[in-house]
């Protein structure tokens, strides 16, 4: 509250009605597998049910993404930062 009593020595800041939030953290993201900032693609039904199916899919997908992966990753990082994320892992 604006008039709340604070212990001596605790700093007080005038936020002028704004809200201060801690930085956001994206704790699971695959920058190398993003389609962000690439050409639009319709969602595809899941192709496979096992981990081996997904590995096989990535073996065909990753080489196609590789030529533009750095630019797409940089664009995704810029988007994350613009929305308040400071950590991505």
Instruction: Give the domain ranges of the chain.
Output: 24-88
SS3 of 48, please?
A: coil
pLDDT of 10 above 70: yes
Q: What is the pLDDT confidence band of residue 47, given thresholds at 50, 70 and 90?
A: confident
pLDDT of 2 above 70: no
Of the candidates 24, 22, 37, the residue with the CA atom closest to the CA atom of residue 89: 24
SS3 of 25, please?
A: strand
pLDDT of 1: 61
Mean pLDDT rounded to a whole number for the chain: 90
């Amino acid at each position: 509250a604006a008039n709340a009593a604070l212990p001596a020595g605790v700093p007080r800041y005038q936020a002028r009605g704004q809200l201060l939030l801690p930085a956001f953290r994206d704790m699971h993201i695959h920058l190398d597998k993003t389609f962000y900032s690439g050409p639009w693609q319709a969602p595809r039904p899941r192709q496979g049910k096992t981990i081996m199916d997904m590995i096989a899919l990535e073996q065909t997908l990753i080489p196609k993404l590789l030529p533009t992966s750095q630019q797409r990753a940089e664009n995704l990082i810029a988007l994350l930062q613009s929305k308040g994320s400071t950590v991505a892992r």
